[in-house]
Structure 1
Amino acid sequence: MRSGGVAPTTEATLQALRAAEFPVAGQYIYLNHAALGPLPRRTADAIAELAQDFRDRGVLAEAKWFGAIARTRALVAQLLNVSPDDLAFTKNTSQGLNIVAASLPWRPGDVIVTVRGEFPANVYPWLALQQRGVQVRFVKMRHGQICLADLESALQGARLLAISWVQYSNGFRIDLEAVSRLCAQRGVWLCLDAIQGVGALPIDLQATPVDFCAFGAHKWLLAPQGVGVLYVNPRVRDLLQPANVGWLGVEWRDYTAFDYDSPLSASAARYEEGTRPLVGIAGLEQSLRLLLEVGPEPIAAHLLDLTDYLAQRLLERGYSVLSPLEPRQRSGILTFCHAQRSAQELFAALRQARIVGAVREGGVRISPHLYNTREEMDAVLAALPV
């Protein structure tokens, strides 16, 4: 494991943001961003301002806030290194995955590969296709990890791989570059569930192409529930004919006199159907600005530093770490257990000390973010039984 900390200037920046933006840190040691991220102050303030404007002015407030749609789309594009035209706003990860599942041209006998142990959001949209004659083939994890050789074998004759960038239970991160290359070589569509990575780790969808990428914004992106993103690679956009079509997915020639002959939007906005979650989008804009101020690389370095620090000391105290320790397989998630103590007992000890984590797959899952500190990792150690 690595040693050392974040560079002093970055550390100072993170601590300034902690004081200015994260009131939750004054109440709890909050280490559950893999479940739900607390709203930064600027995000909550923007949402409150929007609500007040619509309370006081109704439709007259729209002109002020609708600009957030284009601005937020551009910020997501910057984060992923894609074009804004490749992005559609959704309600959550599940909706994005369901758009993909329902809108591709499946044939009876087609095979979808996914991983046994995936979060159910990335399983049920594919299982639902079995009624159309599509087969779902599962790859088993080995000791909490996904082996590239197992994927390679399972992809024989497959049309799509549905896989998480980061596994929710133990934080295992796939080698996205290798998986992207493997799918390209096999002519297999790659659909990435990225909710446990985006906001915590750098991602570049130009350098590591995928066909589809879906994620909600309420975890590591520190945004409200009810807003998400679907990325559709332009190379497959015309293959993904929307199963659900709405008026906002249309390229209107005249927005004041609707012409029913108007075509679907040429951009990924064709998948947006109807009224967008403006409250969530306005909040997401502010959270993205905060995350981009720091930068994906410094955030990832900080999270790896915190989880390295905690993992090493847990191992020294006789705990078992269920998360991978290989740097390239790491994420912002650290899951651990103890041979003589149940996960519920460990979880309860942490909650007694006002430390917020989660129980997953027989272990305690800790998932810090940019504003958490090494001192808080020490507090975790102090609260756990020996």
Structure 2
Amino acid sequence: MDNLRKGFPVLQQYTYLNTAASGLLPEKVWEFRQDHDLDFLIQASILKEKQGEVLTEVREAVGDFFHCAPNRVALVPNFSYGFNSLLESISGDKKALLLENDYPSINWPVKSRKFETVFAKIDQNLEDNILQKIEKEKPDFFAFSIVQYINGVKLGIDFLKELKQKFPDLILIADGTQYLGTENFKFDETNIDVVISSCYKWLNGGYGNGFMLFNDDIQGKISPKHLGFGSLQGKYKAHEGNFIGKFEPGHQDTLNYGSLKVAIDVIKEKGMENIETQVKKLKNGAAQKFLEAGLIEPWIGERPDIAPLFNIKGDEKLSEKLRSEGVITSRRGDGIRVSMHYFNTEDELKLLFKLLKI
């Protein structure tokens, strides 16, 4: 357990249950950033001459960690940039399926374009709602969060696999920002067409870095249009049909993407299996306690595949009380969002339960 908490100084000051809002910055990432900018200060363009090598290492690290060939990994500054770029590559006469009240950075960009849009309701019949909408409306693509940002409702990877098998022509576009880093994820086994993610939450990569993972079939279904000098720079670009280059048209930031590489190294050092085990223990224990206290809706807490974030009943007064006791959470919707990651402990949850009087 000490190894999982090592390298996060903020844990000495707070009970941090707010990864769903912002992940912690590991010491090793901070050290890399300090060294990088010192090198830039004294080397200037000499440092940037190594940009291609650095970005190749990041791309390969992301691909290796998420089981996706590096020539199908695009590096983008955040989810929203990547998602909007992707939408620009889909013709406006297509029909989109979205989830009601999904993350605004998913639903707003789709609704702002010319796509015909239909919605599936998020409730105890979520999976059936999705299937019925697809069968009735026959959308061309389905864009969704794997984990809902407000209440933690999660679409299971097995369900998504089955969905693609049943509707092979449906393009699945997944936001992994509230999911990736909580459990092992093998992209090429999921049948998802595109996964896009920012990395400042559960991957602890800091801000300004993200990525897109593409399956083998997607290139013939979309037509990316962005181009720039950066589109042909570096390995896996010029000689690979320039597909991922169309999502990387400009100069890439070695500071932020290099931070992601170090963050992945930190996760691998701690062990993804250890991380997944700890997250599972914490989320299951929290779900049971919240259910018993009536702080979350039963249909959410009793789902077979839950995420480590919950929206519990509570007002601004309770939120302020938690903060005064050093317990960091977020106000979301009508409640208080509590999220736990691998560096949290059962003792920290006991403190939370004590303050909630449950």
Instruction: Work out whether the TM-score is over 0.5.
Output: yes
* Equivalent position of 2:254 in the other structure: 278
Which deviations, in whole Å up to 9, do the C-alpha atoms of 1:325-345 show, x marking residues without a partner? 3464211212211xxxx4322
* Equivalent position of 1:135 in the other structure: 116
* Equivalent position of 1:150 in the other structure: 129
Aligned residues: 354
Q: CA deviation at 1:136?
A: 0.7
Task: Provide the C-alpha distance between the structure 2 equivalents of 1:17 and 1:294, rounded to a whole number of angstroms.
Answer: 6
CA gap of 1:385–1:54, structure 2 versus 1, over 3 A, is same
* Equivalent position of 1:87 in the other structure: 73
After TM superposition, the structure 1 stretch with the greater mean CA deviation from structure 2, 265-274 or 317-326, is: 317-326
CA gap of 1:287–1:172, structure 2 versus 1, over 3 A, is same
Q: Secondary structure of 1:206's partner?
A: helix
Q: CA deviation at 1:241?
A: 2.2
Task: Provide the C-alpha distance between the structure 1 equivalents of 2:25 and 2:129, rounded to a whole number of angstroms.
Answer: 39
Aligned pairs for 1:81-230 (under 5 A) are: 81-104=67-90, 106=91, 108=93, 110-130=94-114, 134-143=115-124, 147-156=126-135, 157-186=138-167, 187-230=169-212
Q: Secondary structure of 1:213's partner?
A: strand
Task: Provide the C-alpha distance between the structure 1 equivalents of 2:162 and 2:83, rounded to a whole number of angstroms.
Answer: 21
Task: Report whether the alignment pairs 1:376 with 2:352.
Answer: no
Which deviations, in whole Å up to 9, do the C-alpha atoms of 1:274-293 show, x marking residues without a partner? 11121111111111111122
Which deviations, in whole Å up to 9, do the C-alpha atoms of 1:352-372 show, x marking residues without a partner? 111111122222111111111
CA gap of 1:177–1:362, structure 2 versus 1, over 3 A, is same
After TM superposition, the structure 1 stretch with the greater mean CA deviation from structure 2, 213-222 or 293-302, is: 293-302
After TM superposition, the structure 1 stretch with the greater mean CA deviation from structure 2, 347-356 or 264-273, is: 264-273
In the alignment, residue 74 of structure 2 is paired with which amino acid?
A
Task: Report whether the alignment pairs 1:244 with 2:247.
Answer: no
Q: Is the CA contact 1:311–1:321 (under 8 Å) kept in the aligned structure 2?
A: no
CA gap of 1:369–1:68, structure 2 versus 1, over 3 A, is farther
Task: Report whether the alignment pairs 1:15 with 2:40.
Answer: no
Q: CA deviation at 1:31?
A: 1.0
Q: Is the CA contact 2:181–2:202 (under 8 Å) kept in the aligned structure 1?
A: yes
CA gap of 1:296–1:323, structure 2 versus 1, over 3 A, is farther
2:31 to 34, 37, 45: 45
In the alignment, residue 237 of structure 1 is paired with which amino acid?
Q
Q: Is the CA contact 2:20–2:202 (under 8 Å) kept in the aligned structure 1?
A: yes
Q: Is the CA contact 2:225–2:246 (under 8 Å) kept in the aligned structure 1?
A: no
Which deviations, in whole Å up to 9, do the C-alpha atoms of 1:125-159 show, x marking residues without a partner? 211222xxx2010111115xx62221112113210
TM-score normalised by the chain length of structure 1: 0.85
Task: Provide the C-alpha distance between the structure 2 equivalents of 1:27 and 1:160, rounded to a whole number of angstroms.
Answer: 45
Task: Provide the C-alpha distance between the structure 2 equivalents of 1:297 and 1:323, rounded to a whole number of angstroms.
Answer: 28
Q: Is the CA contact 1:180–1:190 (under 8 Å) kept in the aligned structure 2?
A: no
Q: CA deviation at 1:315?
A: 4.1
Q: Is the CA contact 2:227–2:245 (under 8 Å) kept in the aligned structure 1?
A: no
Task: Provide the C-alpha distance between the structure 2 equivalents of 1:140 and 1:327, rounded to a whole number of angstroms.
Answer: 16
Q: Is the CA contact 1:250–1:264 (under 8 Å) kept in the aligned structure 2?
A: no
CA gap of 1:317–1:163, structure 2 versus 1, over 3 A, is closer
Q: CA deviation at 1:300?
A: 2.3
In the alignment, residue 285 of structure 2 is paired with which amino acid?
Y
Q: Percent of aligned pairs with the same residue?
A: 22
Task: Provide the C-alpha distance between the structure 1 equivalents of 2:299 and 2:148, rounded to a whole number of angstroms.
Answer: 10
* Equivalent position of 1:364 in the other structure: 336
Task: Provide the C-alpha distance between the structure 2 equivalents of 1:246 and 1:44, rounded to a whole number of angstroms.
Answer: 31
Q: Is the CA contact 2:296–2:310 (under 8 Å) kept in the aligned structure 1?
A: no
Which deviations, in whole Å up to 9, do the C-alpha atoms of 1:13-70 show, x marking residues without a partner? x31241x310010111111111111100000000111011111211122345653312
Task: Provide the C-alpha distance between the structure 2 equivalents of 1:249 and 1:73, rounded to a whole number of angstroms.
Answer: 14
In the alignment, residue 51 of structure 1 is paired with which amino acid?
D
Task: Provide the C-alpha distance between the structure 2 equivalents of 1:243 and 1:181, rounded to a whole number of angstroms.
Answer: 31
Which deviations, in whole Å up to 9, do the C-alpha atoms of 1:56-98 show, x marking residues without a partner? 2111223456533122212211222110111111111111111
Q: Is the CA contact 2:152–2:310 (under 8 Å) kept in the aligned structure 1?
A: yes
Task: Provide the C-alpha distance between the structure 2 equivalents of 1:91 and 1:188, rounded to a whole number of angstroms.
Answer: 27
Q: Secondary structure of 1:192's partner?
A: strand
Q: Is the CA contact 2:198–2:209 (under 8 Å) kept in the aligned structure 1?
A: yes
Q: CA deviation at 1:236?
A: 1.4
* Equivalent position of 1:295 in the other structure: 271
Q: Secondary structure of 2:2's partner?
A: helix
Q: Any stretches of 5+ residues in structure 2 without a counterpart?
A: none
* Equivalent position of 1:354 in the other structure: 326
Q: Is the CA contact 1:222–1:287 (under 8 Å) kept in the aligned structure 2?
A: yes
CA gap of 1:60–1:150, structure 2 versus 1, over 3 A, is same
* Equivalent position of 1:257 in the other structure: none
In the alignment, residue 365 of structure 1 is paired with which amino acid?
R
Q: CA deviation at 1:172?
A: 1.1
Give 1 or 2 for the bigger CA radius of gyration.
Answer: 1
CA gap of 1:302–1:127, structure 2 versus 1, over 3 A, is same
Q: Any stretches of 5+ residues in structure 1 without a counterpart?
A: 1-13, 254-261
After TM superposition, the structure 1 stretch with the greater mean CA deviation from structure 2, 74-83 or 304-313, is: 304-313
